């Protein structure tokens, strides 16, 4: 029972990382129908940003969070402006296009940083842990969970309290009607890409606390992130939160009872079975229709 209880913070931290990655995909995929396979490389960019900044100051890890957001966000903005905007409405083409971009970015990372993985040293205040009711809570995993909560609250406030967020919600719900209402949908798309890519960069910084950094870092998480988006419902923040929690705990406990490879297979089977019952995900975007 003690070992099972200790899987709880592991499952929560996995869910937190998946949620940070999936937040951006929730809106780029849900709003624009873009299957962005290069999203994983924005995670990698955030992780390498933390690697480059480590040791510069005593708070270099905290500094890496906004810097990684900016770096990955600008990369996403450039990708949308230069390539993706020419392929809206063609999801298969965007999949192939962004997959090619991801391969180019991975090779670029190998050329710049080398093929071997590198390690980011965690700050001293994230080393160790605390025991709560017999459960060991590592500080690094607690930090990842808190970071995910802060990002979710920030995105929620942005969507519900700021005019730019309401414009994004309008485009997600009905792009044509939003355009007829005077909303510059192209500008909203670009900022959505920037926001989603920036959150992937933040996720990359968080991942440096649980493992090494390498050119293929993003590929290990991108499929699970898309599963979170699809299972939660396109463009649904609460769905992404619940789906990330479900996948995080499933991954954690299935790996504990079996092994990593079999756990992945069982998670895929569970998601496929769920989508047979709820093909539109946990939550469906509400709209108006004449009956």
The answer to whether 120 and 54 have CB atoms below 8 angstroms apart is yes
Give the pLDDT confidence score for residue 291 in this predicted structure: 39
Please spell the DSSP secondary structure of 18-69, one letter per residue: HHHHHHHHHHHHHHH----TTHHHHHHHHHHHHHHHTTSSTTHHHHHHHHHH
- pTM for the whole structure: 0.89
pLDDT at 2: 59
Q: What is the mean pLDDT of residues 243-248?
A: 89
Torsion, Cα 18 21 259 276, to 10 degrees, reads 70
Q: Is the domain defined by 2-116+123-277 classed in CATH 1.10.3470?
A: yes
User: What rounded mean pLDDT belongs to the chain?
Assistant: 86
- For residue 119, the SS3 value is coil
Measured between alpha carbons, how far is 250 from 227 in angstroms, rounded to an integer?
Answer: 13
CA 194 – CA 57 distance, rounded (Å): 27
Average of per-residue pLDDT across 238-257: 85
What pLDDT sits at residue 157?
Answer: 93
Alpha helix stretches (DSSP H) within the chain: 2-32, 39-53, 60-82, 91-113, 139-161, 163-173, 175-180, 185-207, 222-232, 237-257, 260-277
**First vs last Cα of the chain: how many Å apart?**
53
- Exposed / middle / buried, residue 45 (Cβ in 10 Å: 0-12, 13-18, 19+): buried
The pLDDT tens digits of the residues spanning 188-201 come to 888 888 998 999 99
Residue 31 has pLDDT above 70, yes or no: no
Higher pLDDT pick, 46 / 221: 46
The yes-or-no verdict on residue 15 having pLDDT over 70 is yes
Query: pLDDT tens, 76-128?
Result: 999 999 998 888 878 888 889 999 999 999 999 999 999 899 999 888 889 88
Instruction: Name the residue with higher pLDDT: 160 or 284.
Output: 160
Burial 48-80 (b: 16+ CB within 10 A, else e): bbbbbbbeeeeebbebbbebbbebbbebbbebb
pLDDT attached to residue 215: 93
pLDDT value of residue 289: 43
Question: Residue 290's pLDDT band (boundaries 50, 70, 90)?
Answer: very low
């Amino acid at each position: 029972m003690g070992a099972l209880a200790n899987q709880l913070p592991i499952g929560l931290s996995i869910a937190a990382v998946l949620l940070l990655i999936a937040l951006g995909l929730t809106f780029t995929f849900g709003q624009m129908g873009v299957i962005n396979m290069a999203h994983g490389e924005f995670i990698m960019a955030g992780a390498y940003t933390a690697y480059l900044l480590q040791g510069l100051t005593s708070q270099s890890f905290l500094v890496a969070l906004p810097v990684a957001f900016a770096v990955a966000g600008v990369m996403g903005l450039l990708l949308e402006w230069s390539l993706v905007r020419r392929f809206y409405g063609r999801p298969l083409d965007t999949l192939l296009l962004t997959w090619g971009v991801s391969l180019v970015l991975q090779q670029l990372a190998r050329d710049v940083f080398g093929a071997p993985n590198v390690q980011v040293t965690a700050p001293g205040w994230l080393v160790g842990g605390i025991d709560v009711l017999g459960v060991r809570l590592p500080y690094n995993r607690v930090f990842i969970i808190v970071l995910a909560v802060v990002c979710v609250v920030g995105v929620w406030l942005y969507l519900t309290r700021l005019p730019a967020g309401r414009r994004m919600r309008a485009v997600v719900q009905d792009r044509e009607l939003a355009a007829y209402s005077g909303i510059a949908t192209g500008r909203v798309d670009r900022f959505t890409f920037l926001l989603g890519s920036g959150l992937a960069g933040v996720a990359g910084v968080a991942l440096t606390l649980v493992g090494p950094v390498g050119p293929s870092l993003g590929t290990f998480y991108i499929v699970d992130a898309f599963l979170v988006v699809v299972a939660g419902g396109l463009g649904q923040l609460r769905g992404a939160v619940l789906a990330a929690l479900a996948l995080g705990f499933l991954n954690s406990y299935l790996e504990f009872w079996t092994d990593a490879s079999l756990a992945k297979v069982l998670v895929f089977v569970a998601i496929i079975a769920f989508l047979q019952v709820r093909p539109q995900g946990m939550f469906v975007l509400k709209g108006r229709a004449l009956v």
